[in-house]
A and B are shown apart, each in its own frame.
Chain A
Amino acid sequence: MSVLSQSTKRGSVLIVGGGIGGMQAALDLADSGFKVHMVQRDPSIGGTMVMLDKTFPTGDCAMCMISPKMVEAGRHLNVDIHTLAEVTSVDGDAGDFTVRVKLAPRYVDADKCTGCGDCELKCPKKVLSEFDQNLGQRKAVYSLFPQAVPNTRAIDASQCLCLNDPDRKRCRLCEKACKAGAINYNDKGRELELHVGSIILSPGLDRYDARVRQELGLGRWKNVVSSIQFERILSASGPYKGVVQRPSDQKHPKKVAWIQCVGSRDNHNANPWCSSVCCMYATKQSIIAKEHDKNIEPTIFFMEMRAFGKDFDKYVERAKNEYDVRYQRAMVSAIREEPGTGDLLLKYASEDGRLITEKFDMVVLSVGFQPHGDAEQFAKTFGIETNEYLFAKTSPFAPVKTSREGIFVTGIYQGPKDIPETVMQGSGVAGSVMAMLAEVRGTEIVKKELPPEKDVTGEEPRIGVFVCHCGTNISSTVNIDEVVNAVKDQPGVAYVTNTIYACAQDNQDMIKQTIKEQNLNRVVIASCTPRTHEKLFQETIREAGLNKYLFDLADIREQCSWCHKGQNEVATKKAIGIVKMSVAKSRLQEPLQSETVGVTPACLIIGGGIAGMTAALSLADQGFPVHIIEKDPELGGLIKHVYRTLDGLDVQEFLKDRIGAVNEHPKITVHTGVEVKKTDGFVGNFKTILTDGSAIEHGAIILATGGVEYQPTEYLYGQTPNVITQRQLEKTLAEGGSPGTGKRYVMIQCVGSREEPNQYCSRICCQDAIRNAIAIKERNPAAEVIIVYRDVRTYGLREDYYKKARDLGVIFVRYDVDKKPQVEQTGSVIQVRTWDYMLDRELSLTADWLVLSTGLRPHPTTEHVGAMYKVTRNPDGYFLEAHVKLRPVDFPSEGLFVAGLGHAPKNIDETVAQALAASGRAGVILSHEHLAVSGIIAKHKRELCMSCLSCFRVCPFGSPYIAEDGKVSHNEVKCMGCGICAGICPAKAFQVNNFRDDQILAMIDAAVESEPGVVN
């Protein structure tokens, strides 16, 4: 990293694109002291992921995972989101860019609009919804999707009746409906000028428009849909409410076909690269469709099943065995609609060469990614170089840096990848920016000044209840006045009123005013769900000087008015019950202090491979001292035996300068030939003793224990010198070995991978084989290379090299796991017999060299290190991250991160990205002097506790511990407030703040008391 001049560095960052990658970078940077400006083209952030129903390989629902992050980004003090915005120009250079942003007119005032949706109800103009991929409809005034952030509505100027009338007279119904007066038809949009220290490009990609391929019939035959359309069909909040039906006649389809590589791996009016995710999302869609409707019979037409990620192969096996998904290895040449029925006839060649026409009820085209239409202009605006396909140009050794200093890239704009890799690059790019702008961290962020907190201890409860109309959302079903009257005389209630929009700015001020005037010491607001608005109202009452935990939110919208529309009388009674429960709980609330704990700004990294070194350098550049603990006598790890990357870059060179940088860096201390003996403490305050006795204090830990190569025992390895591994072949080639004319190299793929008990893909062996094959053919075209493979998994932009190998004459022969190649040796000649599916007969190949593509295994120390830090591992022995999709480098317990092969097999560029991500995540913690501990945690009364150890054994976070005095104590910093200890404690020594037993019992009594005539 070149050290930039001190001069005018800015402590802020521009993020172009509000998808999951951009959001992750924004939150990491904002949480570690940088101002973030997020520019988003659509009216809401979310990108592609919000359109998805479920995600592979776990089947979690996409919205449940991404909406908390969107809400957090939407509310973050130091994240400004500019929607309907585009960057027009960029000047200046690293550390100080001047960026001009054009904001299209929204016609709705964001400060006034509360997102209540009354305008949408009234708007007469129905339009095809782009979000629902034209399967559903929206209005001219709309929000992109129900959980949009910001949920300010926007008017689609091209569709709005009024905006298309020059003198603005027509319709104007939304203006009438809006009680907040937020509609503004003369909005002109505006220009912004931002001064930022760094720019992160995460614009994402477009989806290939398959209508160009007329033979597949998208846009002509109604029952042919794109995969993103099928996601909307599957989604519970989609056009068909999650019911799998055909667009033509709403019939429940029985036979559904997925066609892979539509628009990918094909130069003929499509894209040559592999989009990396379609194989897996097709498998997921077929499983989820089967879960929705068990008589669906999914069939996937594919060339190669590319399930290279963590637990992907297991997911495909489950699809085959549990959901009997049929995988048909064939490319469909044409789709015709059977006149009258809407069914589809697919033409393809079966494996034994017969031409087949098969009827299906519905077809899903697995469309791939391609850069946005304006990709070329986009790159020019930012002055960065792209590769020939208009993806941002990066090197595998620095996958998040563009060609222009200070501008970074994350997500699929750098190359097709799936959500975990995008999130990793999001945190990784945040790590790189933190390193670049380390010295201006915290200079541009806003800290809120809060008035002193009023001391309410000992006071009788004086509860203020605010019942919200939420425009008409609540009041149309629940009689607000009846609720107000029913609650007025509840014991402890000092003041009750109603508000139109409790969350609107003016109502917030009214609430603060009332707290002061009425001398309230507790507040209950009856409106929407605490999951999105609790933090907002807590901040409000804190600004009125009240402890923020003296607040409770009664959900009478999502859990009452919205789901009992039309049953006003019963809904009102239920709303009264809900508010009474909140009042009962509020009566027993106590002010809570959230302690803070100091942070030792240093990081311990276990493992001195590429992952450990990359993370160390990035953290050191951020200004944090780093200790690398390496078991072997010198740094390097597994990469010591690797010479070239797929695109020919010198790996040994890269390793040498990386080791050099680590050894020279003043902030990095390398401990070699030593291991960790013991680590105590918790996030921010770890103390580690090494086997050589030295002690280190640090605030975060990165596990980069790496992996080892599988030592094969099959295929006569070790019995003859001519049977070697790809690594050994690479070594001889690197040392200038030249392959003899007519010499034949036979390579066998998936050796030690994708077979029980190691049912996983080691991800790097296909690349190794193809790189070595190309090297052989380029040195001597007369040498022969035959690769015996199961699925060539050169995903993403690596597809070019698979094509290059074929062009150079490398022969590919497919084998099946139940007909593995047989290897015999007669004299010095090696004979390889394998079944060729194309020729439909057995092939017998003599081989001068038999090269085995061996897989990876987790490093043997993984078990010991895992046990020491109480982190679990998956059945294959790799570390289990906190969340497969959204926290791919975190562990459940705070302050612990993972990078490299210890997490899962991955290529060099992915290891570097994950290492940067780990350093970014660790940087977030180390950048704080103090870590605030949430108020909602369990409190332990030692005088009641009899140290029976029940809590000690059940706590998933290991917060109860046996103190010096031999009795059980509770480490509040590690506590996540789940309350499992309170549930099991026989002495009731544990109580969770704001969820104490007496409060819950009071709520139960209140819930029943409001039901007259209950049979006892």
Chain B
Amino acid sequence: MIVGQQKPFDEIWEMVKGFKKVLVYGCNTCVAICHAGGGKEAEILTSLLRMKAAQEGVDLQVDHAAIERHCEPEFFEPLDEKVRTYDLVLSTACGVGVNFLADRLGGSMPVYPGINTTFYGGVPEAGFFVELCGGCGNCVLHLTGGICPIVRCSKSLMNGPCGGTNNGKCEVSNETDCAWFLIVERMKKLGTLEKLYEVQPPRDWSTGTHGGPRRVSLEHIRAYEEQEEKNAATEGRR
């Protein structure tokens, strides 16, 4: 799931204090699960901002709202009028949501990010999130026993480990496991260690962000959508 963490309150206050009417706009899917930007956190942030404004003697009206997801236009529709009555939207959705709403409002009003979106992660225990995938667009997990070297090895080596492995930990920090130490152990257990003996050729990174912004287009659905629009247009429904 997408994991994020709320921006430090002082940073948010610096962003918000110049405005008159602010809407803290929560998203109730991924960022709610990680207790960063859901409807509940939006409400809490709103209350904190109101009290900070009162303390600083700043005249600021702050309200909060939340919808299921900030990455689908239809969810925004019910609140579009309400949103337009504010002069700033502080979106606590992930970065996708902030972009999507900013595009939707087309510059009519600013949309600021309330949280720092960080990574796709797992939740080994309540309140603890670890990065396990970097969205590189060309998965190699079948070669490394299900442990991703691109994201979990600081140097994204395909022929690790490097010389910096220290007691199974990475040179970057002794709390970070060395991915290749884990990969070797895992492949041993799986009985396929010799797969690691071949030298992996240089990767094609273009499938990731290095290849420029990406999009996925499912033709069988888009064709259906176009057809829908054509019928609607001909019947003059729209």
Contacts and interface: CB of A to CB of B under 8 A. Distances in A.
A987 B126 contact: no
A168 interface: no
A677 interface: no
Contact of A953 (B28, B33, B40, B126): B126
B126 A946 contact: no
B40 A950 contact: no
B32 A946 contact: yes
B125 A948 contact: no
B32 A987 contact: yes
Contacts of A949: 123, 126
Contact of A986 (B38, B54, B125): B38
A953 B127 CA distance: 10
A950 B126 contact: yes
B5 interface: no
Interface string A958-994: 0000000000000000000000000010111000000
A711 to B, nearest CB: 36
A984 B32 CA distance: 11
A601 B39 CA distance: 46
Interface in B34-52: 35, 38-41
A333 interface: no
Given A946-B28, A946-B29, A948-B33, A988 B40 contact: yes
B54 A1016 contact: yes
A987 B40 contact: yes
A205 to B, nearest CB: 51
A946 B39 contact: no
Contacts of B125: 953
Interface in B18-72: 28-29, 32-33, 35, 38-41, 54
Contacts of B123: 949
A570 interface: no
A954 interface: yes
B29 to A, nearest CB: 7
Interface in A414-462: none
A949 B33 CA distance: 9
B40 A986 contact: yes
Contacts of B41: 986
Interface string A923-959: 0000000000000000000000010111001100000
Nearest to B32: A986
B97 to A, nearest CB: 16
B32 A948 contact: yes
Most chain B beta-carbon neighbours within 10 Å: one of A946, A949, A1016:
A946
Nearest to B41: A986
A987 B38 contact: yes
Interface residues of A, number: 11
Interface of chain A, main secondary structure: loop
A946 B33 CA distance: 7
A948 B129 CA distance: 13
Nearest to B38: A986
B235 to A, nearest CB: 34
A946 B26 CA distance: 15
- Size bracket of the B interface: 10 to 19
Nearest to B31: A986
Interface in A230-264: none
A953 B33 CA distance: 13
Nearest to A944: B28
A988 B26 CA distance: 13
A984 B126 CA distance: 10
B28 A987 contact: yes
Nearest to A948: B33
B65 to A, nearest CB: 14
Nearest to A950: B126
Contacts of A948: 32-33
A505 to B, nearest CB: 47
A1002 to B, nearest CB: 16
Contacts of B38: 986-987
Contacts of B29: 946
Contact of B39 (A953, A984, A987): A987
A988 B39 contact: yes
B48 to A, nearest CB: 15
Contacts of B54: 1016
Contacts of B32: 946, 948, 986-987
A946 B39 CA distance: 13
A954 B125 CA distance: 11
Interface in B73-131: 123, 125-126
B127 to A, nearest CB: 8
Contacts of A953: 125-126
A136 B66 CA distance: 63
Contacts of A988: 39-40
Nearest to A952: B126
A95 B54 CA distance: 76
A1000 to B, nearest CB: 14
B126 A986 contact: no
A954 B35 CA distance: 15
Interface in B126-157: 126
Nearest to B26: A986
Interface string B192-218: 000000000000000000000000000
A948 B28 CA distance: 11
A954 B41 CA distance: 19
Contacts of A984: 126
B126 A954 contact: yes
Contacts of A946: 28-29, 32-33
Nearest to A951: B126
A546 B39 CA distance: 36
A953 B54 CA distance: 38
Most chain B beta-carbon neighbours within 10 Å: one of A953, A987, A1016:
A987
A949 B123 CA distance: 10
A988 B64 CA distance: 15
A373 B220 CA distance: 96
Nearest to B126: A953
A987 B126 CA distance: 15
B5 to A, nearest CB: 14
Contacts of B39: 987-988
Nearest to B36: A986
B147 to A, nearest CB: 23
A62 to B, nearest CB: 37
Interface in A658-711: none
Contacts of A954: 126
A1016 B50 CA distance: 11
A948 B35 CA distance: 10
A1016 B41 CA distance: 23
B131 to A, nearest CB: 18
A1012 B32 CA distance: 38
A953 B39 CA distance: 21
A310 B29 CA distance: 49
B16 to A, nearest CB: 20
A658 to B, nearest CB: 47
Most chain B beta-carbon neighbours within 10 Å: one of A950, A954, A986:
A986
Nearest to B127: A950
A251 B207 CA distance: 85
Interface string A646-664: 0000000000000000000
A986 B40 CA distance: 6
A395 to B, nearest CB: 53
A633 B38 CA distance: 57
A949 B32 CA distance: 12
B150 to A, nearest CB: 27
Contacts of A987: 28, 32, 38-40
Given A948-B32, A950-B35, A953-B125, 6 more contacts: A946-B32, A946-B33, A954-B126, A986-B33, A987-B32, A987-B38
11 contacts: A946-B29, A946-B32, A949-B126, A953-B126, A954-B126, A986-B35, A986-B40, A987-B28, A987-B32, A987-B38, A987-B39
Interface of B: 28-29, 32-33, 35, 38-41, 54, 123, 125-126
Top 6 A-B residue pairs of the complex, sorted by shortest distance between their CB atoms: A948-B33, A953-B126, A986-B32, A986-B38, A986-B40, A986-B35
